[in-house]
Amino acid sequence: MMTVSTTQRLDISAVDKRAYAPLLDMEKYIHGGSLGEGLLALVKLRASQLNGCAFCLNMHAKEARKAGVDQVKVDVLAGWDEAAEVYSDRERAAIRLTEEVTEIGEGVSDETWNDASTAFNDQEMVELLMAISAINVWNRLAVSTHQRLD
C-alpha cells in the first residue's frame, strides 16, 4: 500500500516567485474572455473534483458563490449528469468537455466536441480549452505538493 503524507512538500512560490507567472498570465487571458466567472468556476470545480484537489475545490467553490452560481449547481456538480436539468446547455457542454479533457487518456469524443462547438463559438472554445488546461496544471501542482488550504 502506498503511503502519502498530507504535509506540504514544497512551497513553489517561496522557492521561485516567478514560477507561477506564466500561469497567472494565462488566468488573466481566461478571465478577460467572454465565458463569464460563473461558467469558469464550474469548469474549475469539476476538473478539481476529478483531480482530487482540495485546495482548488475550496477556492473555486468560493468563486462560484461570489459569481452568483446557484448553490444547487455547486452542490450536485459531481453528479451533474444525473441532474442535467439544473444546468444550461452551455454549462453541460462545458462540464462534459472539462471531464474529457481532464481525463484525456481516451481523447475527446466527437459527440462532446460537437456539443461544445455548437454551444460555444471558436473564440469561446479557445478560451474554454485554455481554462480547462490551466486548472489541470494548477490541480497537478497543488496535489503533488500538498498545497495547504490556507
Mean pLDDT of 7-20: 91
Return the percentage of the chain with pLDDT > 90, whole number: 87
What confidence score (pLDDT) does residue 147 get?
A: 82
Q: What backbone torsions phi and psi does residue 128 show, to the nearest 5 degrees?
A: -65, -45
Give all strands (DSSP E) within the chain, no chain letters. none
| 46-61 as b/e: b if 16+ CB within 10 A | bbbbebebebbbebbb
C-alpha span between 5 and 30 (Å, rounded): 33
Q: Domains in the chain, ordered, with CATH? A: 35-143 (1.20.1290.10)
User: Cell numbers of 130, please?
Assistant: 485554455
pLDDT in tens, 77-118: 999 999 989 999 999 999 999 999 999 999 999 999 999 999
pLDDT tens-digit readout, 133-142: 999 999 999 9
pTM for the predicted model, two decimal places = 0.93
Q: For residue 3, name the pLDDT band (cuts at 50, 70, 90).
A: low
